[in-house]
Structure 1
Amino acid sequence: MTVSAGTALRAEWTKIITLRTTWSVPLAGTLLGILASALVCALIGDVQELLVQDPSVGIHYGLTLFQTAFVCFGVLLLGQEFDSGSVLPALLAVPRRGLLYGSKLAVGAGYGLALGLLLSAGSFAAARATLDHPAGWTDPGVPRSLAAAALYPPLMIVFCLGVTAMLGNLTAAMGLLVPTLLVGTTLLGAVPGVRELVPFLPDRAGQYGIRYATDPDVPFPHWTGSLLLAVWAGAAAYGGLRRFRRYEG
């Protein structure tokens, strides 16, 4: 029996909306992220030196704080099937492994993009409502920053799903990605001889794409940061596809 791409996509979307914890975690992170950005901008956005120099730090504070939700979502999309063994019935239902894997990527990235747009626009609107001198939607650097912030969640989801596929294990993926992306890059920034490489890591590069101000220690422009995150996501997705095609359970 040949399964169409539309059928595979609908099946993956059904899995997401059926498992409440899967879709609710990134949604909760999005809503909490907007609230966090609003509170930061309202309380210290007009007086904290860093936020005055680069308002994007406060505007997208919630994205940085709650990016864990998107990391976990990317891992769970495939990792929970590895963990429960339900990946084998899924392969029986959709024998074309590339189609099954691609459907997971498409649905995860699509949901992530919807939440990314909500988080980016919602955080900016909240900042405009709370700051004394807010930036306009079309001010220099703002459209790029908003676009980069909207793309950050889906690209991070694709990256994490790809890494999970390469590892073939939920626990291993969570154990690697969560501490590495949330703490590891900060610690590496304090290591001599390594800190120069930190801006090229996926989370740091993507977050630099969101900023307004230029960092003299980062050897590339803002859009390159978002591009680097996209390259990381593409490489992880490709590596995950190769590994998933050889998966034996």
Structure 2
Amino acid sequence: MSATTYPLRAEWAKFTTLRSLWTTPLLAVALSAGITAAAQFAYGKVDDSLTDDPMLGLYYGLNFGQVAVVCLGILLIGQEYSSGTLATSLAAVPDRIRFHRGKLLLGAGLGLAIGLLTVAGQLAATAASVGIDLAAPGSYRALAAGVLYHPLLLVLCLSLTTVLRNQTAALGLLSPMVFLGTTALSAIPGIREVVQFFPDRAGLYALRLQDDPEIHYGHGTGLLVMALWTALAVAAGLRTLRTRDA
């Protein structure tokens, strides 16, 4: 077994043997696709807010499903901090760069799979309920952004948990911030100007078709802003892992 694949295989073994880990992606897909389906079939034909921007209705369930994605990113390394098994993992893979890379590759792969399944489920639900015109400008960009949003969010949360080195703190901070925090802050005049550059806000803007005159960048740039935040978090996580004791 090569030095490159061993850490990834080790992380995959942990993921598949811990129920709290492998059930979380299923929950993420079920919440996103299921809530979108319920909302579209119940209100899609009568609620203009779900159809003025077709992607707003399509991604309605993502507002809830993304919390499970956040939790998965936290759990992928947070469980090892909370259980005290990180030292054992590092004994098995002493090279911390390789260990970190294995975590990131697994997280990115899981996030991509969640994104593909979620977007497919939401698209099917929207097409079956109210229909969707993919010929509208920006539709395929918004669908691709929806897929990529998931691995970026998952890796971001995994890396920030590495920086915090505490599963409870990460769950208490990141989950409510993504679910309600940035949404509430974006409604406050003055603060809105700053919050629009937060990673989840920027990433979610990339999922829309309609322009928002109060957002100071384009839809495509929103995903790049989120990717930049994720890259910074990855670098900070690696630095923490290399300089702090297990």
User: What is the TM-score normalised by the length of structure 2?
Assistant: 0.96
**1:242 & 1:236 partners in 2: Cα distance?**
10
After superposition, the C-alpha distances for 1:172-212 in whole angstroms (9 at most, x for unaligned) are 11111112222221222233321111111111111100011
**One-letter amino acid matched to 1:169:** N
By how many angstroms is 1:26 displaced? 2.1
In the other structure, the counterpart of 2:26 is: 27
- For 1:171, the equivalent position in structure 2 comes to 168
1:165-244 → structure 2 map (5 Å cutoff)? 165-244=162-241
Corresponding residue of 1:135: 133
CA distance in 2, matches of 1:128, 1:199: 30
| 8 A Cα contact 1:37 1:126, kept in partner | yes
2:45 matched to which residue of 1? 46
Contact 2:31 2:64 in 1 (8 A): no
Contact (CA 8 Å) 1:13, 1:107: kept in 2 or not? yes
C-alpha distance in 1, partners of 2:155/2:138? 26
Amino acid at match of 2:166: N
How far off is 1:3 after superposition? 6.6
The aligned residue for residue 74 of structure 1 is: 73
In structure 1, how many angstroms separate the alpha carbons of the residues matched to 2:91 and 2:234? 22
8 Å Cα contact 1:37/1:58 also seen in 2: yes
Deviates more, 1:24-33 or 1:71-80: 24-33
State the Cα distance separating 1:225 from its structure 2 match. Answer: 0.8
Counterpart contact for 1:206–1:228, Cα < 8 Å: yes
Q: Determine if contact 1:82/1:168 at 8 Å carries over to the other structure.
A: yes
Give yes or no for contact 1:121–1:146 (8 Å, CA) kept in 2.
no
CA positional deviation for 1:37? 0.9
What is the identity, as a one-letter code, of the residue corresponding to 1:134? Answer: I
Q: Distance in 1 between matches of 2:35 and 2:41?
A: 10
Deviations 1:143-186 (A, max 9, x none): 11111110111100110011011111111111111122222212
3-state SS in 1 of match to 2:61: helix
In the alignment, residue 29 of structure 2 is paired with which amino acid?
T
d(CA) in 1 for partners of 2:188, 2:57? 27
Residue 47 of structure 1 and its aligned partner are, at CA, apart by 2.0
Matched residues, number? 246
Cα contact 1:45–1:58 (8 A) shared by 2 = yes
**Contact 2:206–2:221, Cα closer than 8 Å, also in 1:** yes
Structure 2 Cα separation of the partners of residues 63 and 187 of structure 1: 17
Q: Find the aligned partners of 2:114 and 2:183 in 1 and give their Cα distance.
A: 26
Other-structure match for 1:113 = 112
Of the three residues 126, 140, 151, the one matched with 2:148 is 151
Bigger mean CA deviation after superposition, 47-56 or 77-86: 47-56
Amino acid at match of 1:119: T
Structure 1 gap segments, 5+ residues each: none
Indicate if the aligned counterparts of 1:45 and 1:55 stay in contact, CA closer than 8 A: no
Task: Give secondary structure in 2 for the equivalent of 1:114.
Answer: helix
* Contiguous gaps of at least 5 residues in structure 2: none
Measure, in 2, the Cα distance between the counterparts of 1:139 and 1:148.
15
